Structure 1
């Protein structure tokens, strides 16, 4: 059976157990597929890559809000009224 691996780098779960920081470093800042019996079990994502992913998710959510509000009627307000 074949599995779709979404990274260029993979490591076995045994390698991860033996030396987790070496496995993380081998990805050079990119996620690493951790394999269990040659099947992707999970992805090891460095903190900077995780933060970048979370920023993209936040941006996508904000874009949805902007698009939903783009058709709303606008109301003119002066700074003095605030």
Structure 2
């Protein structure tokens, strides 16, 4: 039986507003059943292409306060709307 692929996502930024601040780190903890892996994108590695490649096949995203912070930053800076896949922790 295949397990869903889940991603726990957290970002670090230079400030609190996506309009005047940058993303400095995006961390992903990916798990499917007993298989896990961690991915950290830092600095110039934080691109739309890299985030989409990391998120390929992900069924559900979990964050802490992501709806109000992480996801708006990702959408603003990378043009990726992850709301449909998001569950708040």
Do the structures match in fold with TM over 0.5?
no
Larger radius of gyration: 1
1 or 2, which has the higher helix percentage?
Answer: 1
1 or 2, which has the higher strand percentage?
Answer: 2
Provide the TM-score with structure 1 as the length reference.
Answer: 0.25
Provide the TM-score with structure 2 as the length reference.
Answer: 0.24
Which structure is higher in RCO with an 8 Å CA cutoff and minimum separation 6? 2
